[in-house]
Amino acid sequence: MTKDTQKLNSIEKAIEILLKFQEAKSHWGIRELSAELSFSPATVQRILQILKSYDFVRQDPATRQYFIGNIFYRFLQTLNATNSLTVLGKNFLNEVARQTKETVHLNVIEDSFRICIDHIESPMVLKASMPVGHRSPLYAGASAKCLLAFSSQAFIDNYLAEVNLEQLTENTITQPERLQKELESIRSQGYAISLGERTPGLGSLSVPVFDYDGLIQASLSLAVPEVRIKQEDHLEFCINILVEQAGAFSKALGFKTGQF
């Protein structure tokens, strides 16, 4: 989101400040934020004091710098209980986990990124990890490409026009034309596969979940270590289970088979 320039009301300023506390830069001083956002130091100071009093941010007593507060953990419980995708999806994730023994995860688009909203980690010793909240761009990895592939053409075109296809690994797709073809191929076969597009050695399978309107709501995915995704029979087995459970999930959301 991140709105442009000046002329924000105080709530928007508070939100813009909160959004600055990202993984890339987790600790901020007041004058630093002031310069970054073009708010006066007094304003930044006042807003941070308010946010601090609610534990949205905390302050390091030694450096006096601010960082994100623990209150956000609390909203997670609300999300898990409220979000119909995580509530309904629980059974399907469990079923995929039970049958495949791989790390299962459920993803949605949030602010032009794929974000993991639920997961069950593999019981195996060699496993891929995918914590809730994990974010990645929409062009790299099966779960991300799957979400993008089944979005509206307008969304895809807009995304491709704005995004910079950064080379994250040697397998990342960096040419828009190749990505377009890949998306077409995902749509025609009904699922997405990737190997090391974002993280070397990490394979991924993903199938879309649709709602009653036929709109993509999530992608149901497996994160599989390279050695196991290269086993043809295991791969096929996993895809079948994913397709089956994602289909049942879509049905539970009111999607009618053959709706298109």
Partner DNA sequence: AACAGTGTTTCATAATATAAAACAGTTGCG
Partner DNA sequence: CGCAACTGTTTTATATTATGAAACACTGTT
Q: Which of 31, 40, 63, 76 binds a copy of itself (CB under 8 A)?
A: 76
CB closer to a copy of itself, 12 vs 166? 12
Q: Which of 4, 5, 6, 54 binds a copy of itself (CB under 8 A)?
A: 54
Contacts with a copy of itself in 130-189 (CB under 8 A)?
Answer: 131-135
Interface with a copy of itself includes 237 (CB under 8 A)?
no
Interface with a copy of itself includes 15 (CB under 8 A)?
yes
The full DSSP string for 67-103 is EE-THHHHHHHHHHHH-HHHHHHHHHHHHHHHHH-SE
Instruction: Count interface residues toward a copy of itself (CB under 8 A).
Output: 55
Cα distance between residue 114 and residue 146, in whole Å? 10
Cα distance between residue 59 and residue 63, in whole Å? 8
Interface with a copy of itself includes 26 (CB under 8 A)?
yes
Q: Which of 124, 126, 215, 227 binds a copy of itself (CB under 8 A)?
A: 124
Contacts with a copy of itself in 182-221 (CB under 8 A)?
Answer: none
- CB 149 within 8 Å of CB 187: yes
- Dmax (CA) of the chain: 63
CB closer to a copy of itself, 1 vs 161? 1
Q: Which of 2, 9, 53, 77 binds DNA (CB under 7 A)?
A: 9
**DSSP assigned state of 203:** E
Mention every residue, 6+ apart, whose C-beta is less than 8 A from residue 170: 196, 200
Interface with DNA includes 13 (CB under 7 A)?
yes
Q: Which of 31, 98, 230, 256 binds DNA (CB under 7 A)?
A: 31
Q: Write each residue from 40 to 59 as x if it is in contact with DNA (CB under 7 A), else as -, in one continuous string.
A: xxxx-xxxxx---------x
3-state secondary structure of 143: helix
What is the β-pairing status of strands 66-68 and 103-110? unpaired
CB closer to a copy of itself, 118 vs 182? 118
- CB 226 within 8 Å of CB 199: no
CB closer to a copy of itself, 50 vs 227? 50
CB closer to a copy of itself, 26 vs 231? 26
Q: What is the CA radius of gyration of the chain?
A: 21
- CA-nearest of 131, 155, 135 to 143 is 135
The partner in contact with residue 65, picked from DNA, a copy of itself, none with C-beta cut-offs of 5 to 8 angstroms by kind, is DNA
Q: Write each residue from 63 to 82 as x if it is in contact with DNA (CB under 7 A), else as -, in one continuous string.
A: -xx-----------------
Interface with a copy of itself includes 83 (CB under 8 A)?
yes
Cα distance between residue 48 and residue 25, in whole Å? 16
C-alpha distances in Å from residue 223, one per residue of 86, 95, 99, 119, 130: 18, 15, 14, 10, 8
- Binding residues for DNA, rule: CB under 7 A, are 7-11, 13, 29-32, 39-43, 45-49, 59, 64-65
